[in-house]
Amino acid sequence: MESRIHREIIEDVCCNCNKYCLLKEIILCNSALDDRTLEQMKCVERFKFERSEKENRDIGWTGAWNYWVVEGYAQRFGEAYKNGMKHEEIWDAIFNHKEEIVLDPCIYLG
C-alpha cells in the first residue's frame, strides 16, 4: 500500500474530527488496516451517528454494524468502493443509490 495515499485516506476519514477521534486512535494502534476497511469504518461511524439521532438513542457500534449489514449497506459499499475514493463520494454512492435494497427475509430469522 502506498503510504502517501494511505495518509490521505486517514486524513479524509478523520477530517471532521474535533480533539478526539476514535477512528484515528484505532488506525494508529492497528496499522494493518487497509484503506477500504478505514473507509467502511468511517461510513459505519457516520451511519451510527445518524441512525442514533433518528432513533433518539445510541444504537451502539454493534447495532450500527448489524444494521449496516442486514439492511444491505455493506453490499452497496462493496459495489461502490474504488481505491482512492473520498468518503463523501462513497457515502453518496451508498445513500443516493436509486435502486431499493432487496433483502432476504431469512436474515432476520437467524
Give the containing element (helix H, strand E) for 91.
Answer: helix 87-95
**Predicted local confidence at residue 1, as pLDDT:** 47
Query: What does pLDDT average to in each consecutive run of 10 residues of the chain (110 residues)?
Result: 62 66 68 82 92 94 95 94 90 78 48
pLDDT score recorded for residue 17: 63
For residue 63, what are the CA distances in angstroms to 25, 42, 73, 85? 21, 15, 13, 26
Cα–Cα distance measured from residue 96 to residue 98, given in angstroms and rounded to the nearest whole number: 6
Q: Where are the domains of the chain?
A: 3-109
Tell me what pLDDT residue 108 has: 47
Question: ∠ at Cα 51 (45, 55), nearest 5°?
Answer: 145
Residue 67 has which C-alpha cell?
444494521
> For residues 69 and 94, is the Cβ–Cβ distance under 8 A?
no
